[in-house]
A and B are shown apart, each in its own frame.
Chain A
């Protein structure tokens, strides 16, 4: 199982590569909201779900499509940890 440090680093890399298109100057702080900073739209959130399901072998349920789980690097890390520990 991946530790928090590895998770965080993978998630940050995904945000940088896929949401920000490698633009390091606009990299967010881990607590910053993707929505508030205009980093994602309704299609972007589907990209996040695909990334989580593919990289961490988990299934994101409809009910889990909420900003509390998905809207910042910190929240993604916590969400993946909860999901993978519960499994």
Chain B
């Protein structure tokens, strides 16, 4: 089974059913399918070969979804890069995976064009929202002058048929790279086959009980696996996704639930805290909501209690996962009152257990160890990172499989239900996203005045964890908190920017002289 069949099969079954609602635009399955088919032919016409990489750098939109499926249909490998990503990091990612084509918008492209000059393998840029009849913008002119090719989406599609292209891929071929923060500071591409992603989508839609009648409201970015899978899973069953760019305005989110009769709400901590801050929630009709899912960062019990009161019909799924295998565990919703802090049991077709440092399986309740996972959804590795791959994946019990070390500490109760304790490394979970402290620290060190820097997560009402930077300055140098934050905002996506900066004379050190974060708060 290939992932691209999800769209094709649903379009065959019910072509007139709504696939995506994006703002004013309502796209039916047949329309999404035909657009993706034509773009797939267009990508082939640009010279895209089987298993070459196509990056989509654009907001949540019908175009982004078509870009994903067109790449798969053309037998390529897609990656979605969050459009908040700065030019230098985008260029790093495109070079890391030798992306051949970039699908983006004019405004996004203009902001990063100078950085992309360094991407030697990037032959073609396709602009979704630019018409070749419009004047050529300066950044695009410079790009073309450097011998690179620039296309308008409409121009590229003009000659292409909307028929299903021949695709020789099989499910062992690669479907996607999902870039995540590494503890080294450089993003790494989680490499997934069609079989991996189909296994994850099948398992999750099974336990959620997704149906063609589902209407799922997702403001989660398609660059993150939680957001991406909302579309993949909906397309698997032929459901509708109300795809928002972000959850910026809480009343708009509520209005959409009510207006579109939304049945499924995938949320993260930040969404629930923004929503539950409102004091007139009881006045809205949430009775269409059938289920709520949460992952990335646990919800506090008071959020769960409030959600239960507001939406008594909704089943709440507390879940745990990591991009490397998408999802590991979920709490069956009937246990939410008795075990609101547990993430429950392994998802269907997955085995997970806790090990001590010698690799022995822990079965005693309450004893902490690392969670290890086996299943058909476990990634094949990190793109071009043999060492980091070997750390995360180890030989499995059969010669053809590998097991995933999550790097997360867990315990279990007497019923075998799992409880997350902490991460082994120091990744910070903020606003539902993972942030590697090194990436932020590297940016702090770009400031001449900074002698030492350390970044940690501190508890935060809205974000779950907020990023706090500790900075020691060079002698006689001066720097303000505002200057540090401004520099970080220029260099990093907003969610990675420290909320607070504390200036200290010197950072604590270990006996070997390395900066120690223990005791910082």
Binding site for B on A (CB under 8 A): 21-23, 26, 35-38, 40-46, 62-63, 65-67, 70-71
Contact = CB atoms under 8 A, between A and B. Distances in A.
Contacts of B510: none
B490 A21 contact: yes
Interface stretch (B249-257, B299-307, B450-458): B249-257
23 contacts: A21-B486, A21-B490, A22-B490, A26-B107, A35-B246, A38-B59, A38-B84, A38-B107, A38-B245, A42-B247, A42-B248, A43-B431, A43-B462, A43-B463, A43-B494, A44-B248, A45-B248, A46-B462, A63-B280, A65-B249, A65-B251, A67-B248, A71-B249
A62 B111 CA distance: 33
Contacts, number: 61
Given A21-B486, A37-B107, A38-B83, A45 B249 contact: yes
Given A21-B490, A41-B84, A63-B280, A35 B107 contact: no
Contact of A21 (B107, B270, B489): B489
B166 interface: no
Interface residues of B, number: 29
A43 B274 CA distance: 10
B171 to A, nearest CB: 35
Nearest to A38: B83
Contacts of B271: 42
A47 to B, nearest CB: 9
B480 interface: no
B278 interface: yes
Main secondary structure of the interface of A (DSSP, over half): loop
Interface of B: 59, 83-84, 107-108, 111, 245-252, 270-271, 274, 277-280, 431, 462-463, 486, 489-490, 494-495
Contact of B277 (A35, A37, A62): A62
Contacts of A63: 251, 280
B274 A42 contact: yes
Nearest to B273: A42
Contacts of A37: 107
B249 A41 contact: no
Given A21-B486, A37-B107, A43-B495, A66 B84 contact: no
Contacts of A62: 250-251, 277-280
